[in-house]
Structure 1
């Protein structure tokens, strides 16, 4: 099965640090899409102990990654990175399938899936 999402080396290093710090070693990194946000869809990143039958599973940089099959087309070609600056650091998500994003910077929509927009605060 193909890798829907690319995890950069910088992101993988941060994920491994977070796994160790939070006692999540041996967990999967789930990358997903949920309805919500100003543009209709939001990204989700988190740790899970178990995979589901509908998950695509692969490994990058020693991290087992889960992507729900229904989310794979929306996330195809997406790059998850970690950027460090003087103000701190954070994950960035670059999705070539997003045709619009919110001024909040946390939600998006694609030409195939609009999602369920909410009001940004």
Structure 2
């Protein structure tokens, strides 16, 4: 199976640290797309104990990743990175399928899926 999402080494280090801090070692990282936000779709990431029947599962930098099959096309080619600056650090998500994002950068839409926009 091809990998839908790429997790950079910097992001993997941070994710592993979060797993350790939250006693989630051995968990899977779920990357998801949900309706909402100014542009219609938002990203979600969290830890789960096991994959569901309709999940795609793959490994990136020693992290087991799960993505729902219905989200795979929207996330295909997405790169998750972690950037550190003087103001702190945070994850960045570069999705080549996003054709529009909101001003705050937390939501997006694709040509095939406008999601469910909310008032900003």
The number of residues matched between the two structures is 120
Deviation of 1:2 (Å): 1.1
Alignment of 1:72-111 (within 5 A): 72-111=72-111
Deviations 1:62-116 (A, max 9, x none): 1000010000000000000000000000000000000000012100000000000
Deviations 1:20-77 (A, max 9, x none): 0000001000111000000000000110011100000001111000010000000000
Residue 8 of structure 1 corresponds to: 8
Distance in 2 between residues matched to 1:114 and 1:101, nearest whole Å: 11
Residue 24 of structure 2 corresponds to: 24
Distance in 2 between residues matched to 1:74 and 1:19, nearest whole Å: 26
Unaligned runs of 5+ in 2: none
Does 2:83 match 1:62? no
Distance in 2 between residues matched to 1:3 and 1:32, nearest whole Å: 14
Unaligned runs of 5+ in 1: none
Deviation of 1:7 (Å): 0.1
Residue 36 of structure 1 corresponds to: 36
Which 4+ stretches in 1 moved above 2 angstroms?
none
TM-score (norm 1): 0.98
TM-score (norm 2): 0.99
Distance in 2 between residues matched to 1:89 and 1:119, nearest whole Å: 28
